[in-house]
Chain A
């Protein structure tokens, strides 16, 4: 238990680092608060290393902390919607246990963006925003694949650390 808390703390720090890197990259799909989703690496890793509960815990803690450090309350709202939706979808796909980590991560990326656009549409009170969705869909799939590849590589290298 103690060991696990230590690991989760380390992952939280890593996720915060990803958030910081993201805040330096001026890449936002043109939507305020919308990000690349690098931190999904951590969520994917935790889903495979521990489970949905641990992934959710670290994800939510990361969103709140990063929101106060690098963003604002608005950013937290966007991130929370994207983070929760992508966590939900990825948890389900991992639980079904028939999909490769790339598929899981791609779906996570897409739903991450879907969650954010849903909140943006609500905040702006406009359905016209969904005109962005094709781009966000493709973008989410692409970053999702990238994150899946990174997560798989990182997993291979740290899984021994966790067990040994």
Chain B
């Protein structure tokens, strides 16, 4: 406990920093632009939509009286409204690249963007 910060700590710190940068880079910048938007509810397919077509999708959960509104506009998709308590999904903003996701955990809604050739729910299971 009384140990001073040493070489091992600095190496570990740099390693973690690089790892964090990679994770964020992969989440935000990496990947081809997407073509389709897939929505799952409770892990089950809810619908597949083209990213190029502007539309508003209401994702309703009949069993739990929960709802999210997903909006596709200008080749990007975002969660415009959600009745979950934390609204993290709404704050996540717009996504448009391959394999980017918006997750609303309380309502168990997942929105994923896929590039055309990788479309399909099998890709989710990877």
Contacts and interface: CB of A to CB of B under 8 A. Distances in A.
Interface in B36-88: 40, 42-43, 84-86, 88
Contact of B105 (A31, A98, A100, A101): A31
A48 B1 contact: yes
Which of the four size classes fits the interface of chain A? 20 to 34
A73 B102 CA distance: 26
Given A128-B112, A155-B1, A134 B88 contact: no
A48 to B, nearest CB: 5
Interface of A is mostly: helix
Interface in A129-160: 129, 131-134, 137-138, 141, 152, 155-156, 159
Interface of A: 26, 28-32, 48, 98-103, 106-107, 110, 120, 124-129, 131-134, 137-138, 141, 152, 155-156, 159
> Which 8 A-B pairs have CB atoms at the shortest separation, nearest pair first?
A30-B88, A131-B101, A134-B23, A125-B43, A98-B8, A128-B110, A128-B101, A103-B9
